[in-house]
Structure 1
Amino acid sequence: MKGKKVEDSYSPLGAIGQFDMYEIFKSYITSKGNGYHILQATQQIYSMFGFKFDDAKREIRGIVRAGSYGSRTDIVNIKTGKIDFKRLEENAEVLNHYVRFYVPAALNEGVVLLHNQKNIGVKTLIYELLREEFSRVTGRVLQMNPLSYEKAFQEWKKAVAKEIKLIRFSGMNTIEDQIKKLGHDEAEHVYIIKASRKNNLGTLVDYLTPGTEQSATVEILAPLCAEVKTVVEMHGRKRTFRLGGNQNSQVCEIDVDEKKVTITAGNPDMKEFDSWCKILLNEFLSTMYPGMGIKV
């Protein structure tokens, strides 16, 4: 996040002219209450639920409940194959998205963690709401740009890859030899490549560097499955990152660590999720501002 007047350099977030970005966000979110709001232009519905504000740390945390309406569809029971009920145009499937803002006063950029559900996110929704309010109050431009792997996770670049996961994979025969160069595999509901005793799968940076064997393999695999993920480990800690796409525009997407966060019916335990996201946020801060001792 950055606050900027078009002709100016970036301002400290606590002193954007006479305004404080943290206070603008806090006031706006508070004004929304817990009720639902309708965006007719995009046929969306949303609410700001259970938000907490830490004025000392300048953190904002809560749940954005969001969904879309306007389409008539059948809701089918996967066990019976029969229609349980019909979703009408005025019905919206609402998903819970955890969001967390860190808005430092003295720095000119902050961090936002946004939770995707079923590969559906709320980045555009959150940005458009805050951008409009920020512009209304300050007359300036709000930027909310995705963090790249390069900037966000310096400490994980040398982490050893333990697995490559191919989600909804097809087309094995044409690339089997290429996969075997990395290690052996196990067939499950996803296709998993694990390092053999003789070979390793490289490090995270190998998958993000054009011209490496790992990067070339991902380039081949990506069109053949819904997602390519790598599980990396460092000092006993594990993270699962998504790979593929244009590496120059690759954004940092991290899968929930289900050893740290309980998932029930597809939804994370929010108390555990909140604690885990605090760890992630501090990882971001330590690599974005090395040596400054910034943490929440």
Structure 2
Amino acid sequence: MKGKQVKNSYSPLGGIGQFDMYKVFKDFIASKGDKYQIVEDSKQIYAFSSFKFDDVKREFRGIMKAGSYGSRTDIVNIETGNVDFQRLEKNAEVLKHYVRFYIPEKLDEGVALLHNQRNIGIKTLLHELLRAELSRVTGGRVLQMNPLSYEKAFEEWKKATAKEIKLVRFSGMNAIEDQIKNLGHNEAEHTYIIKAPRRKNLGVFADYLKAGTEQSATIEMLTQLCTQVKTVVEMNGRKRTFRLGANPSNQVCEIDVDEDKVTITAGNPNMKEFDSWCKVLLNEFLSTIYPGMGIKV
């Protein structure tokens, strides 16, 4: 997340001309209240809810409710197979997305954590809203919201040991079974889970990010046979589940919720627990993005 001048040089976020990006965003969110807003061009609605602002730490967090409208669809009961009701063009299914921003005053780059629900995200919508507002207030300054790569975001976790590989909606084994076993295959389920043998591991996380390794070659192959590949890594008693792709070093950094830390009920996280967990994540990001500066929230 950067504030960009026209001449391709970046401004400190607290001094974009005479404006402070933190205050611009805070004022924009507060101005919307908690009522739903309609974006007619993209047929979306959104609302900001339960936002908290810390002017000293220059961070804010809360819930962005978002959904789409404009299509008539059937809502089917999966137990009976019957249509319970019909969603009309004026109806929108709304999902709740946790968001958290850190906007330093004297640096030109901040951090945003954005929560996906059922693989549905809000980055495009939120970026467009904040981009338009920053441009309006500052007279044309440009907001960039670029995804963090694994390489930049998780220097610390590169040394973590891989304990599991999860293959979501996996279809077919056949000739690749032997190659999977080379990683230390011990137990499998459907969603297919590759677990390290007891007291062993499946290599370190860096092996999955580096081209030419056995691990990256296997992940590249497996991504063709399932919708998602996830790697569970562990370090000093902490766990993270990362989503990988055929070229992990170029992937957006996506992390699955740690259900040992956050209770999930009916597909939704306990927001108090989720908020605490995201604070830990944010501080991990800050320690790698601003090394040696001691920045924490």
* 1:123-202 matched pairs, under 5 angstroms: 123-138=123-138, 139-197=140-198, 200-202=201-203
Q: Distance in 2 between matches of 1:185 and 1:122?
A: 38
Q: Deviation of residue 245 (structure 1)?
A: 3.4
TM (norm. structure 1) is 0.98
Q: Distance in 1 between matches of 2:83 and 2:18?
A: 57
In structure 2, the residue matched to 1:63 is: 63
SS at match of 2:286: helix
**Residues 41-67 of structure 1: CA distance to partner in whole angstroms, max 9, x if unpaired?**
111111011111110110110100001
* Structure 1 residues without counterparts, runs of 5 or longer: none
In structure 2, the residue matched to 1:266 is: 267
Q: Deviation of residue 289 (structure 1)?
A: 1.1
SS at match of 2:171: coil
In structure 2, the residue matched to 1:294 is: 295
Q: Deviation of residue 292 (structure 1)?
A: 0.7
Q: Distance in 2 between matches of 1:245 and 1:65?
A: 32
Bigger Cα displacement from structure 2, 233-242 vs 6-15: 6-15
Are 2:232 and 1:231 equivalent residues in the alignment? yes
Q: Distance in 2 between matches of 1:161 and 1:62?
A: 32
Q: Do the aligned partners of 1:98 and 1:114 also contact (CA within 8 Å) in 2? A: yes
Q: Deviation of residue 198 (structure 1)?
A: 8.1
In structure 2, the residue matched to 1:104 is: 104
Q: Deviation of residue 119 (structure 1)?
A: 0.2
Q: Distance in 2 between matches of 1:185 and 1:25?
A: 50
Q: Do the aligned partners of 1:24 and 1:134 also contact (CA within 8 Å) in 2? A: yes
Q: Do the aligned partners of 2:187 and 2:193 also contact (CA within 8 Å) in 1? A: yes
Count of residues in Structure 1 that have an aligned counterpart in Structure 2: 296
Q: Deviation of residue 106 (structure 1)?
A: 1.0
* Structure 2 residues without counterparts, runs of 5 or longer: none
SS at match of 2:187: strand
Percent identity of equivalent pairs: 76
Q: Deviation of residue 248 (structure 1)?
A: 4.5
Q: Distance in 1 between matches of 2:282 and 2:99?
A: 11
Q: Distance in 1 between matches of 2:132 and 2:125?
A: 11
TM (norm. structure 2) is 0.97
In structure 2, the residue matched to 1:18 is: 18
Q: Deviation of residue 197 (structure 1)?
A: 4.3
Q: Distance in 2 between matches of 1:191 and 1:278?
A: 31
Report the residue type matching 1:56 in the other structure: V
